[in-house]
Amino acid sequence: MVEKNKILKINDLIFDNVLKNFNFEIDVSQNSINSIICFDNSASSLLKIVGNAEENFKGEVTLNENLRAIYIPKNPSSLPWLSVEENIKFILENSSYKEAVAQNQVQNLIDDVGLTGYEKHFPANNSLGFRFRISLAGTLALKSSLILVDNSLKQMDEETKFELYDLLKKISSKYNVSFLLASNDINEVIYLSENIYLMKAGNSKIIDKINLKEEWQKLNKEGRGNRQLQLKEKILHLFLQQDVNNIL
Amino acid sequence: MLKKNIFYQKPFRLLFSFLLVWFVLFEFVLVANGILPKPSSVYNSIKDIWGIYSFLPNILYSFGAITFGLVFSVLLIYFFRKVLLNKNIFTELIFAVNKLKHFIPVVILSAFIIFWFNNSVYIEYIFILIIGFIYLSGEMMLYSDRTKSEYILAAKSLKIIDKKINGEIKFKQLLPMLEESFLKLHFILWSVLITFEFIQHQWGFGKIIFDSLKYRDMPTLFVVALIIYLLISSGYFIIKFLFNRYVHWE
C-alpha cells in the first residue's frame, strides 16, 4: 500500500553538472499537489527528465506502472499558429501515447481549464495564463497522472496566479491527477502544496522535506498567516544553511 | 533597419513625388539635358517602346521568372523541411554552396551558366529557382538554432512524433524569422535576373536595358527603371501582406 503511493523514484541521476548522483523518492499520491523549491535550475532539469523532455542523462527514473508524467515548460508552449481547440487536437492526433481522451471530449477539457468560448482563439504571445491553460488541457487530453509544472506561473500577475492556483486544485481533484511544481516562490509553494521539497544543484539528495498537511493540522490558536511566516522563515533558514545566497 | 527605411515604408508616395519633380523639372526647366528624358518624349515614345522592344512579352518573361523562383523555392523548402532541419550531408553541402556567394560574384556565375546553356529558354527560371532555394535553405539553417526550446520540450514530453516536431513545430517557428530573408531574396533575385538577362541578351528586362543602352534610348531606359521599381515595390508589399496574413501568428 505504501509502495503504491511512492510513484516516482530516482536513482543516481547525473545531468549536466546540475544533478550529481541525485537520489529522490517522492511520495506523490494521486490527487495531490507537491512542490520542489529551489533557486537554481536543478528542479527544472529534474522535471524535464521525469517528463521525458530531456534524454541526455544518466541514472534511473522509475514511475509506477500506468503513470504518465507530462512536463509543462516555464515559458508558454502552446503552439501559436493553432487555435485552442486545434492545439488539443494536434496533441491527440500526433502523440504516440495510445491512451487519450476521445476527440468529442475536447470541449469538456476546454471548459474545465476555463477557456469556454475561446475555442477558436489563437494564443497571443503575452497571455501567459491563457497559454498555460491550453498546455494544461493538452496534458489532460493524454490522461496524464502526474503533471510537472516548471515555474510556469512565475511571470504572471498576482490575479492570474491565484486563478490558476484554484484551477490546479480543481483539476487535481476532478481528474485525479497529481502536480509536481518546480518553483522559486516560497509563498506559492506554501499556498499550494501538500509537500515541499527543498533542492539545490550538486546535492545528491534533497535538502529537506516539509509536510504541509501535518503543519496545517498542528494549527491550534495560532493563525494560518503566522504559521505561514514561520514556515517561510524555516525554508529560508534551511537554504541559508546550505550556502544558497541567490534567494529571491 | 530595413523596415524603418523610407523607401520601404512609402515607396509609392516616393515614386509619385519623384515623378512630380521630374515632370516639372525636365518638362519646363531642364528641357535639353543628358540626365533624364523629357516627360513628353517618354509619353510620345511609349507606343514605340511597346512595339519595338516587345515590352509585354519581355516583362512577363522576367516577372514570370521571379514569381516562379520565389514560389517554387518556397515549395522546395517546404518539401525538404525535415531534411534541412537536421544536420546531414545534404545540409552541409547546401551550407557550403551558400557560402560561395561571398567569393563568386553572380556575374561570373551567370556568364558560365549562359556559356553552358546558351539557347535555353528555361535555364533562367532554373537558375533563379536554384539561387532562391539555396539562399532560403541557408537562412533557414542559420535560424534553426534560434527556435524556442519550450515548444520542443513540451512536444517531447507529450510524445509528439518526430516527424511532426521537425516538420511542423520547428519549421513553423522559423517562418516568421524568414520574412526579412524573403524580402532580401526578392530583391536579390531581381538583381540576379536582370544581370543574367543582360548578359544572355535574349529575353526579359535585361535584354531591353541592353538594347536601350546600345541605341542610347533614354526614354526606354527610364520606363524600364520605373516598371522595375513598381514591380519590386509591389512584390515587397505582397510578401509583407502574405507574412502578416498567414505567418505572423505571435
Q: Quick check: is B2 in a domain?
A: no
Which residues, numbered 36 to 95 in chain A, qualify as contacts with chain B under a Cβ-Cβ cut-off of 8 Å? 48, 51-55, 69-77, 79-81, 90-91, 94-95
How many folded domains does chain B comprise? 1
Instruction: Tell whether the model's pLDDT for residue A125 goes beyond 60.
Output: yes
Cβ contact A53–B172 (<8 Å):
no
Cell of B228: 522595375
Q: Which residues of A touch B171 (CB under 8 A)?
A: none
Instruction: Tell whether the model's pLDDT for residue B1 goes beyond 50.
Output: no
- Which has the minimum average pLDDT: A1-10, B151-160, B233-242? A1-10
Q: How far is B69 from chain A (nearest CA, A)?
A: 26
Q: What is the mean pLDDT of residues B3-19?
A: 73
* Share of residues in chain B with pLDDT > 70 (%): 96
Q: Are strands A19-26 and A8-15 parallel, antiparallel or unpaired?
A: antiparallel
Residue in B with minimal Cα distance to A146: B157
**Cβ contacts of A103 within 8 Å, gap of 6 or more:** A89, A92
What per-residue confidence (pLDDT) applies to B194?
95
Cβ contact B153–A79 (<8 Å):
no
Residue in B with minimal Cα distance to A45: B153
Q: What is the mean pLDDT of residues A137-148?
A: 93
Domain that holds residue B120: 37-247
Which residues, numbered 107 to 136 in chain A, qualify as contacts with chain B under a Cβ-Cβ cut-off of 8 Å? 122, 124-125, 135
- Model-level pTM? 0.83
Cβ contact A95–B249 (<8 Å):
no
Q: Which residues of A touch B154 (CB under 8 A)?
A: 53, 71-73, 77, 135, 138
Name the class of domain A1-67+166-243: alpha beta
Burial letters for B47-66: b for 16+ Cβ neighbours within 10 Å, e otherwise?
A: eebeeebebeebbebbbebb
Closest CA to B19 of B226, B204, B187, B245: B226
Single-letter amino acid, residue A70 = I
What per-residue confidence (pLDDT) applies to A6?
53
pLDDT band at B69 (very low <50, low <70, confident <90, very high): very high
pLDDT in tens, B176-224: 999 999 999 999 999 999 999 999 999 999 999 999 999 988 889 989 9
Cβ contact B250–A139 (<8 Å):
no
Instruction: Tell whether the model's pLDDT for residue B75 goes beyond 90.
Output: yes
What CATH number does residue B101 fall under?
1.10.3720.10
Beta carbons of A180 and A24 less than 8 angstroms apart:
no
The neighbour count for residue A212, using CB atoms within 10 Å, is: 21
Residue in A with minimal Cα distance to B247: A81
Closest CA to B120 of B203, B185, B177, B7: B203
Instruction: Tell whether the model's pLDDT for residue A30 goes beyond 70.
Output: no
Q: Quick check: is B32 in a domain?
A: no
What per-residue confidence (pLDDT) applies to B146?
86
Q: What is the mean pLDDT of residues A83-104?
A: 90
**Cβ contacts of A151 within 8 Å, gap of 6 or more:** A44, A74, A181, A182, A183, A184
What per-residue confidence (pLDDT) applies to A40?
87
Q: Hey, where are the domains in chain A?
A: 1-67+166-243
Dihedral angle computed from the Cα positions of residues B231, B237, B242 and B248, in that order, rounded to the nearest 10 degrees: 150
Nearest to B164 among A75, A94, A148 (CB): A94
Q: How far is CA B169 from the centre of its chain?
A: 28
